[in-house]
Every structure is written in structure tokens, then in C-alpha cells.
Amino acid sequence: MAILKKSQILQGINDPEKIHIEALDGELWLRPLSNSELDEIDKIEAKGMESYETNSKSRGRIQGETIAKGKINVHLATVNGAKARDRKIEMSLDNPKNADDPWTEEDIGKLSRAAVNEIVDAIDKLSGLDVTKGDIDKFPEE
């Protein structure tokens, strides 16, 4: 196994791939997002949560009860979910292959919902966020 240099590892986010987008009947140059970029997306999405509270009660050595309360502003969650989605697309399209024809937030807003969903799925896959059926099968059930 080869030892990687930092420059080789960090080059990934600047190494776009040509991805076919069925809804556009064409290809786009997309790049994976870095961990800090994904954190930025998570922060935008989290703005829809107003508060989250957990209370734990314990009875005896073995018994336990957890009560969780959450409050979500549905309007804020929807608005910030859309902002996060569009920002994710904008970041991925911001790559050396698109330097001569940059995308704007307004351009992304003009795309069809089918194209947006397909592009986001492609970015998630490139960024290592895709969930497979095997991952779902491994998830514990209650």
C-alpha cells in the first residue's frame, strides 16, 4: 500500500468528474465536497431547529427511561434545507472545469426539481455520503 502525500489527498476536491445528469440529458463537471464544506451545509440545515431537549430518568440499576422533546420551525427547516441544497450544488460546480462559465445561485434556482435532486445525489456519492441498501440493512431495528 502506497503512502499518500497531503497534496494527493487534498487534490480530490479540485478534481472534478464529468457526471451524466439524466434530467438535463447532458453532463456536468462536479467535484466532491470537503469535510469543512459539508459542515457548512449541515450548519445551514440546522438553522431550522429551534430547540432540542433530552431528559433522562433512571429507576434502579437496570431500568431507564429517556424523554426527548424537539421543536422544529417547519418554515425555517424548509427554507434552510433549500439554501443548503443549493449551496451544495454551487460549491460542487465551483471547480476548475467550470471556471470559464461559473454558476450562480440564480442559475441553480432555474433548474428543474428533477435535475436538482439528481445533481445532489451525484454530489453526495462523489463526497462519500451515498447510502447503500447494505448500509440500510445493517441499521438496527427496534
Q: Which of 48-57, 62-71, 109-118 has the highest mean pLDDT?
A: 109-118
Q: What is the pLDDT of residues 76-125, one digit of tens each?
A: 888 999 999 999 999 999 999 999 999 999 999 999 999 999 999 999 99
Sole residue written with cell 437496570: 62
Number of domains composing the chain: 1
Cα distance between residue 128 and residue 136, in whole Å = 15
In a domain? residue 5:
no
- This prediction's pTM: 0.75
Cα angle 103, 95, 119 (rounded to 5 degrees) comes to 65
Domain assignment present for 68: no
Let me know if residue 4 belongs to a domain: no
Domain around 122: 17-45+74-130
Q: What is the pLDDT of residue 110?
A: 96
Q: In this structure, what is the dihedral angle of CA atoms 49, 50, 51, 52, given to the nearest 10 degrees? A: -20
Q: Is residue 59 part of a domain?
A: no
And the C-alpha cell for 113? 426539481
What are the DSSP calls for 125-139, one per residue?
Answer: HHTT----HHHHHHS
Mean predicted lDDT score pLDDT of the chain: 83
Residue 85 has what pLDDT?
97
Question: Is residue 135 domain-resident?
Answer: no
